[in-house]
């Protein structure tokens, strides 16, 4: 039998297009899930490392580490005092005040950089979520919606 109106070939073409759109939407979903899984894994690893660094164990290594940190802090304070004396002798007390201002500005810039980095991560996660939602919508429309 011949197909004078092209119904059979048209049906085959529609079926082929639908199968391709389903495959494309599945691949897109897998790619997005992979990216989200990597981001989730990295966040969990960072959380675990933070928790591990805050854990206090009963062994002596924690005490030794605490003593070492205390000694480093005391050394830093003593060094700062020595530098303060030298700067005030050489340049005066206003120079030390300027140095303290520069130190405060540097600390503020560090905090600002950390905040902006966290904000960028939040924005990237939001964009990834929107892409996932958009891809899901396109896959739905291509498979079952108006565009099939």
What pLDDT is stored for residue 32 in this prediction?
A: 77
Q: What does DSSP assign to residue 59? A: S
Helix (H) or strand (E) holding 58: none
| Residues contacting 26, CB < 8 A, separation 6+ | 139
Buried b (16+ CB within 10 A) or exposed e, 72-101: eeeeeeeeeeeeeeebeeeeeeeebeeeee
- Decide if 143 contacts 22 (C-beta within 8 A): yes
**Residue-by-residue pLDDT tens, the chain, 148 positions:** 566 666 777 777 778 877 787 787 778 777 777 777 777 787 788 878 887 777 765 667 778 888 999 999 999 999 999 999 999 999 998 999 999 999 999 999 999 999 999 999 899 999 999 999 998 888 888 888 776 5
What pLDDT is stored for residue 130 in this prediction?
A: 92
- Same domain? For 109 and 36 the reply is yes
Per the structure, the complete domain to which residue 75 belongs is given by 57-90
Residue 58 sits at φ, ψ, to 5 deg, of -80, -5
- Same domain? For 83 and 104 the reply is no
- Same domain? For 48 and 68 the reply is no
- Same domain? For 129 and 114 the reply is yes
What pLDDT is stored for residue 141 in this prediction?
A: 83
What pLDDT is stored for residue 111 in this prediction?
A: 94
Give the angle 91-94-100 at the CA atoms, nearest 5°: 105
- Same domain? For 35 and 96 the reply is yes
Closest CA to 85 of 94, 96, 73: 96
Residue after which a domain boundary falls, among 90, 106, 137: 90
Total of domains in the chain: 2
- Same domain? For 72 and 120 the reply is no
Residue 146 sits at φ, ψ, to 5 deg, of -70, -25
């Amino acid at each position: 039998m011949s197909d004078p109106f092209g119904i059979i070939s048209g049906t085959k073409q529609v079926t082929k297009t639908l199968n391709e759109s389903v495959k494309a939407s599945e691949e897109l979903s897998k790619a997005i899930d992979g990216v989200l899984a990597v981001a989730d894994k990295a966040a969990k690893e960072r959380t675990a490392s933070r928790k591990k660094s805050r854990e206090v164990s009963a062994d002596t290594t924690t005490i030794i580490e605490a003593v070492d940190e205390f000694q480093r802090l005391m050394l830093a304070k003593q060094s700062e005092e020595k530098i303060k004396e030298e700067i005030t002798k050489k340049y005066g007390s206003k120079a030390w005040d300027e140095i303290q201002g520069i130190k405060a500005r540097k600390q503020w810039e560090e905090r600002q950089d950390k905040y902006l980095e966290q904000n960028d991560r939040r924005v990237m996660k939001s964009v990834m979520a929107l892409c996932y939602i958009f891809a899901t919508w396109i896959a739905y429309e291509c498979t079952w919606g108006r565009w099939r």
